[in-house]
Amino acid sequence: MSDVYLFRDQLQSLIQRALESSNVSQENALSVAAALTQAQIDGQVGHGISRVASYCAQARSGKVHGHATPHIAAETASALRIDAQHGFAFPAIDLAIKELPNKAKSMGIAAATIFRSHHFGVAGWHVERLAMQDTLGLIVGNSPAAIAPFGGSTPIFGTNPIAFAAPRHRNHPLVIDLSLSQVARGKVMVAAKEGQSIPEGWGLDQDGQPTTDPKAVLQGSMLPMGG
């Protein structure tokens, strides 16, 4: 099978059309497509086009509200509480990124929380956009149980991604993006879809034994950062 090469706009348009055909509004589809396209370009394939099929399925089934409009549920001079209305996280994050820099520059610090949301993709991309507006950015997110505690086999902790970004003079922002597991779970999901093995040390099977089978890890547990 030969490789297919697309320009950014072509890829984003394809993703957007797929979402719109799956009961997602045009505005939300554009926001999601932009995030997935950027993830793919940045090499974060576990959060790029590999997510399109599942996102579309979740929108069609109603698990995610494709026509949700995020709104500010509560606000102070330095804080926002954003209701994603059971929709995709990206439109809600876009709203936060639009509002936070001015608040931070006015008050010295600003924060936003988002609730009734969904998978939020590459954490680093969100804070990088804040850094592009000359602010320091920090984002944290919770996730379903995927990591067993040391010596255990049953997942208890989430991978709970965290990312930080800072602007740099005449250079691209400094971005640090990590998961609390050895590797992002999305990479294991991609390996499982492609029938590839994964490096030892990424996860355990259901019996708590090390494995290089990504499907076994998805049924078992990720390993925490630091072993």
Q: Per residue in 182-197, pLDDT tens?
A: 988 889 999 998 999 9
Give, in degrees to the nearest 5, the angle at Cα 166 between 90 and 123: 25
CATH of the domain at 52: 1.10.1530.10
- 3 state SS of 44: coil
171 pLDDT band, cuts 50/70/90, is very high
Q: What is the mean pLDDT of residues 98-106?
A: 97
152 pLDDT band, cuts 50/70/90, is confident
CATH of the domain at 193: 3.30.1370.60
Which of 187, 198, 216, 190 has the alpha carbon at shortest distance from 208? 216
49 has a pLDDT exceeding 60: yes
Q: What pLDDT shows up at residue 1?
A: 57
Write down the pTM of the prediction: 0.90
Question: Ramachandran region of residue 47, left (φ > 0), alpha (ψ -120 to 50) or beta?
Answer: alpha
227 pLDDT band, cuts 50/70/90, is low
Does 182 reside within a domain?
A: yes
Does 113 reside within a domain?
A: no
Number of domains in the chain: 2
* Comparison of pLDDT for 193 and 75, the residue scoring more: 75
